[in-house]
Amino acid sequence: MFTAFLFPGQGSQKVSMGYDLYKQTDIGKEYFNLANDIMESDIKDIIFNGPDEKLKETLYTQPAIYIVSVIIGKILLDNGCKPAMVAGHSLGEYSACTISGSFSFENGLSLVKLRAENMQIAGKTKPGAMAAIIGISFEDIQHICTTTSNENCIVVPANHNSPNQIVISGDKSVVKEAMEHARNSGARLVKELNVSGAFHSPLMKSAKFALSQALDNTKINNANIPVYSNVSAKATTESDEIRLNLKNQIDSPVLWCKTISNMKNDKASRMIEVGPGKVLQGLTRKIDKDLHSMGIENFDQINEFDYD
């Protein structure tokens, strides 16, 4: 039985996450204190005490989830649980790369900080929207996006989360129009998401430019554990490929459904969501109900985990 670590993305955060890790583990103390220095702000206090509205800001959400996810992943590794493969949903790909040994916690957090800052800026300079659509095919949604987009405004499939759940992203006006087309095409649910920008769309071009420069100046190692890329849904251990995937990820769709299917084809049977929330566990079950899906998000679950 091969184990895969899956790392959550934005939206899985909650106030007080990781507090038990900080109080009860040495690595928790070390990494939270390091994080405050790297962030040049009291991210530790925001994570532990909120308020919730502040933690929901992209600027803080992304680093917060990264910090907690990596601490849990490192503890699992130190306790002898080494996965055969790793993947992360959007932001979570940075957690996956850190656990794979591609870069250090410090370098990963510096990249995530820059990523969050520039995605937030891009969201303000090029306002956009995202919406989840459930119940119609990817091909139908792709057709809706293509026919709704025009020279000045674009909408694209952004997250292929499960066979029946696709997230679209783009300029606000055409996202609204695409949502209406999806309803008329028989979608069971169409819901605009509470996000600060059109993530994983061409509206993130300025963020991609800033992040690409930082990635070029960051030491990235060959991975010790294969990392499945959001952009290709394929595994790699090559440092140059990991760097390119992270550059392209920010304005490209997240091929999560295909990623999980490819992991299963590569003999993964136990999928562990490492970090806050249960979003990826739910998606895994929707993608393939035969996969064993579980999560570890706190100190008690780390201690109760069967390491054999």
Q: Give 184's contacts (C-beta < 8 A, 6+ positions apart).
A: none
Name the amino acid, one letter, at 126. K
Kindly report the pTM of this predicted structure. Answer: 0.97
Q: Name residue, tokens 């600060």.
A: 196
Of 162, 200, 229, 252, which is the active-site residue? 200
Q: Which residues pair with 32 in a beta bridge?
A: none
Round to whole Å and give the CA distance between 95 and 111: 11
Contact criterion met (CB below 8 Å) for 167 and 133: yes
Q: Does the domain made of 2-123+202-304 have the CATH classification 3.40.366.10?
A: yes
pLDDT of residue 71: 98
CATH number (3.40.50.300, 3.30.70.250, 3.50.30.30, 3.40.1790.10) of 128-192 reads: 3.30.70.250
Say which residue the tokens 């420069």 belong to: 213
Query: How much is the pLDDT for 105?
Result: 98
Same fold for the pair 2-123+202-304 and 128-192? no
Cis status of the peptide bond prior to 51, with omega within 30 of 0: yes
Would residue 102 show up in a list of annotated catalytic residues for this protein? no
- Please, how many CA atoms are within 13 Å of residue 214, restricted to the half-sphere of its CB? 20
Question: Is residue 200 annotated as a catalytic residue, yes or no?
Answer: yes
| 209: amino acid identity, one letter | F
For the chain, the structural domain boundaries read 2-123+202-304, 128-192
The one-digit pLDDT tens for each residue of the chain (308 residues) are: 799 999 999 999 999 999 999 999 999 999 999 999 999 999 999 999 999 999 999 999 999 999 999 999 999 999 999 999 999 999 999 999 999 999 999 999 999 999 999 999 999 999 999 999 999 999 999 999 999 999 999 999 999 999 999 999 999 999 999 999 999 999 999 999 988 899 999 999 999 999 999 999 999 999 999 999 999 999 999 999 999 999 999 999 999 999 999 999 999 999 999 999 999 999 999 999 999 999 999 999 999 998 76
Please report the pLDDT score of residue 194 as a whole number: 87
Choose the catalytic residue: 12, 90, 149, 229: 90
Q: What are phi and psi of 185, to 5 degrees?
A: -90, 0
Angle at 161 between CA 101 and CA 283, to 5 degrees: 85
**Closest by alpha carbon to 57, among 196, 160, 157?**
196
Q: What is the pLDDT of residue 207?
A: 97
First to last CA, the chain: 11
Q: Say which residue the tokens 């579980």 belong to.
A: 294
Distance CA(121)–CA(196), nearest Å, equals 9
Structure confidence at residue 306 (pLDDT): 83
